[in-house]
Amino acid sequence: MLLIRIVGHDEVELRFAVTITFAMLLVLKPIVMTMWRSKAFKELIVAMLEKIVTRTDNDLDDLAVKHLKDLLLPETRIDK
């Protein structure tokens, strides 16, 4: 038995967007997981967050990015 269901234009667009997003995550996740330990990747993340934070007018996100930067890129290296 073949069932045909007519869907609206918005539902098709939503399904397409979800499919593309899922495909991008499948491709990008292994790349990100292999690079997340490198200093250059951490610097990229911090730089992107700092750029985003400049668009806001509150100080809470500035403090959060500063704290994250201190954790990801410490001035002195601590060996365990």
* Res 4: pLDDT: 44
Give the C-alpha separation, 69 to 46, whole Å.
6
Reported as a single tens digit per residue, the pLDDT across 22-63 is: 888 888 888 888 888 889 999 999 999 999 999 988 899 999
In the chain, where are the structural domains located? 9-72
Q: In this predicted structure, which of 5-9, 54-58, 60-64, 70-74 has the lowest mean pLDDT?
A: 5-9
CA 61 to chain centre: 16
pLDDT: which is higher, 10 or 33: 33
